[in-house]
Amino acid sequence: MLTNSLMNWSGAAKIDGANSFRIIRLIHLPLMMPALMAIGAYALLLSADREITPAAALRLFLTTDDTPFNVLMATGAIYALPPAAVYYIFKRCMVRAHGGAVRS
């Protein structure tokens, strides 16, 4: 369905007078924005888990015999906030997808 639609859009844009570069910039890229946003958000959230040091540092608490659960949970909650914020911001972009211009 997606390739079919893209082909039709390309055909329509070609007849309308757009060259390949403009078809990508004016038609394909705007239509791909929601998908690009989604991929971007996933990439960011995944890297937040692995790479950002404060999150990784949480694991240090688990090494000692008497784990301070209250501290662990408090820090965890605070560090969970940025990814959550990112998630909710990007979600708005993702669901603002375009529909209805083609029927498959």
Residues that bind another protein (CB under 8 A): 4-5, 8-9, 11-18, 22, 27, 30-31, 98-104
Dihedral sign (CA 76, 52, 33, 35) = negative
Write the burial class of residue 54 (CB in 10 Å: 0-12 exposed, 13-18 middle, 19+ buried).
Answer: exposed
* Pick 77 or 101: Cβ nearer another protein: 101
Q: How far is the CB of 1 from another protein (least distance, A)?
A: 9
Residue 65: CB minimum distance to another protein, A: 58
Instruction: State how far the Cα of 104 lies from the Cα of 85, in Å rounded to an integer.
Output: 35
Q: Which is nearer to another protein, 5 or 75 (CB)?
A: 5
DSSP 17: T
Taking the complex as a whole, the smallest distance from the CB of residue 104 to another protein amounts, in Å, to 6
